[in-house]
Amino acid sequence: MAEPRPLSIPVILGTARKGRMSAHAARLVHGELQKREGVSTELIDVGSLSHMLDDNGQGTGDPAFAASMNRADAIVLVAPEYNHAMPGLLKHVLDSCLQEYIHKAAGIVAVSAGPFGGTRVIETSLPVLRELGLVTIFWDVNFGSVDKVFDEKGALLDQSFIRRTGKFLGELIWMAKTLRYGRENIAV
Amino acid sequence: MAPSPMRCPECGGTMNQHAEKIVYGSHGARIDPDLGGVIEEMHACPQCGYVASRPAT
């Protein structure tokens, strides 16, 4: 079934740390999304958003981020694993919205320097995303030992990640279409 | 009487209520005594996709 509007699927780069390898992963996923017909995407860097540090919660965030989340049919979180969890800045940004997320799809791209591919950041993020009203998919992309996946300039060294990312995006797009139909056509 | 459908703030279309979500926090008199929080209705616009919410009635 043809969609009346392109699916909006922003990619959120979830760290502002200097020298972040997650930026390479985010650019790869963003580039693969750009190749998908019927999808519009943008790369959102949490390090370039305006943040309120003396307040938090719904409605306190960057208005441009909130508008992007309102438009979104799905989101991709690119999250490095910091002490087994998502970066605090990413959580702070996510907590600035709520109604914008309800019944929308979410996929996690996890990044770690170690061999486990960010599995722990995925596990600890799932209850957070659920409480925000997002619907998580069962495909992830795990960039473990990330310094072996990309070179210093961000060139992809392991081409298997193209196929892995493709499977992830295929499921995310299916879920985004399904949830859009539900949001707009199925009443409670 | 059922509440009137929400109008899309963006395009004026009739929105679809697709969810209710409990929101915990300091909302004073609006707190549902049985549920311990405020119930927000979630609406989406089939014309433009905009999403919005309002307190449940």
Give pLDDT tens digits for B17-42: 999 999 887 667 788 888 889 999 99
Residue A184: CB atoms within 10 Å: 21
Q: What is the number of CB-based contacts under 8 A between chain A and chain B?
A: 55
Joined together, the tokens standing for residue A131 give 């409480």
Give pLDDT tens digits for B3-12: 799 999 999 9
Relative orientation angle of helices A22-34 and A160-185, to the nearest 10 degrees: 60
Give pLDDT tens digits for A54-90: 888 888 889 999 999 999 999 999 999 999 999 999 9
Name the band, by pLDDT with cuts 50, 70 and 90, for residue A1.
Answer: low
Residues facing residue A172 across a β-bridge: none
Q: Report the residue of chain A nearest B45, measured CA to CA.
A: A184
Mean pLDDT of A4-30: 96
H or E stretch including B44? strand B38-44
As to burial, measured by CB atoms within 10 angstroms (0-12 exposed, 13-18 middle, 19+ buried), residue A36 is middle
Specify if A2 maps to a domain: no
pLDDT at residue number A59: 84
As a whole number, the mean pLDDT across chain A is: 96
Give the range of the structural domain holding residue A30, as residue numbers without chain letter: 7-183
Residue A48: helix, strand or coil by DSSP?
helix
Specify if A69 maps to a domain: yes
Specify if A41 maps to a domain: yes
Q: Report the residue of chain A nearest B15, measured CA to CA.
A: A184
Nearest to B15 by CA among A133, A72, A187, A3: A187
Q: Do A102 and B46 touch (CB under 8 A)?
A: no
By the 8 A CB rule, do A8 and A41 touch? yes
Distance (Å) from the alpha carbon of B17 to chain A's nearest alpha carbon: 5
pLDDT at residue number B25: 77
pLDDT at residue number B1: 55
Distance (Å) from the alpha carbon of A93 to chain B's nearest alpha carbon: 18
Q: Cα(B4)–Cα(B16) distance, rounded to whole angstroms?
A: 11
Specify if A188 maps to a domain: no
Give pLDDT tens digits for A115-165: 999 999 999 999 999 999 999 999 999 999 999 999 999 999 999 999 999
Q: Which of A70, A133, A184 sits opposite B21 (nearest CB)?
A: A133
- For chain A, the farthest-separated pair of C-alpha atoms sits apart, in whole angstroms, at 50
pLDDT at residue number A89: 96
Specify if A139 maps to a domain: yes
pLDDT at residue number B28: 75
Q: Which one has a higher pLDDT value, A146 or B57? A: A146
Number of domains making up chain A: 1
Distance (Å) from the alpha carbon of B45 to chain A's nearest alpha carbon: 6
Overall residue count recorded for chain A in this entry: 188
pLDDT at residue number A58: 84
Give pLDDT tens digits for A33-60: 999 999 999 999 999 999 888 888 888 8
pLDDT at residue number A152: 93
Q: Do A183 and B50 touch (CB under 8 A)?
A: no
**Domain CATH code at residue A170:** 3.40.50.360
Phi-psi region of A115 (alpha: psi -120 to 50; beta: other; left: phi over 0): alpha
Specify if A1 maps to a domain: no
Specify if A60 maps to a domain: yes
By the 8 A CB rule, do A81 and A125 touch? no
By the 8 A CB rule, do A39 and A6 touch? yes
Instruction: Write a three-state SS string for A92-154.
Output: HHHCCCCHHHCCEEEEEEEECCCCCCCHHHHHHHHHHHHHCCEEECCCCEEECCHHHCECCCC
Phi/psi of residue A180, nearest 5 degrees: -60, -45
Reported ipTM exceeds the 0.85 cut: yes
Q: Which of residues 5-34 of B touch A (CB under 8 A)?
A: 16-21, 23, 25
